[in-house]
Structure 1
Amino acid sequence: MANDMIHDIFSGEPNLSTTERAVSVALGLGIAAAAAQPRPNKWLSLAALVVGVGLALRGATGHCAMKAVSDRL
């Protein structure tokens, strides 16, 4: 089951330009690094970490599922 989910996340043709990929990786790593700083609200830090990792993965794979869906509409 986990392998199917991993395959779904990383499958698909790259649909991001080089600029979009670079910006996603840079912002994702920046947000994830900011989330690693000690904060009083641990849930906010966790949310920022999840968003940062998501953006970094989006840039690293070059595939954005939301963009793929919007291109079909």
Structure 2
Amino acid sequence: MDLRENATTMSLDGRSGGAPIPGLDDHRLRTGRQDWAACESVQRGMASVRYVPGPLAPDEDGVHRFVMMVARKYLGR
């Protein structure tokens, strides 16, 4: 469920009569900052001259199938 801007409750529109969630804004800011930091770290690593793309992990077989499907479409197969 996506939390709406200025939501005070866990509901589809953020305005239900439900109980307020204390610290919701603090939690969203903290986790948002953590997500940004992780993404920025990955981007810095990929920008390194030493970065070499590697194979997908075994549990990424769905990603591999999707990439191959797109590649085949580009090749007209």
Interval containing the TM-score (normalised by the shorter chain): 0.3 to 0.5
Q: Which structure shows the higher helix fraction? A: 1
Q: 1 or 2 for the larger relative contact order (CA 8 Å, sep ≥6)?
A: 1
Larger Rg: 2
Q: TM-score, normalised by structure 1?
A: 0.34
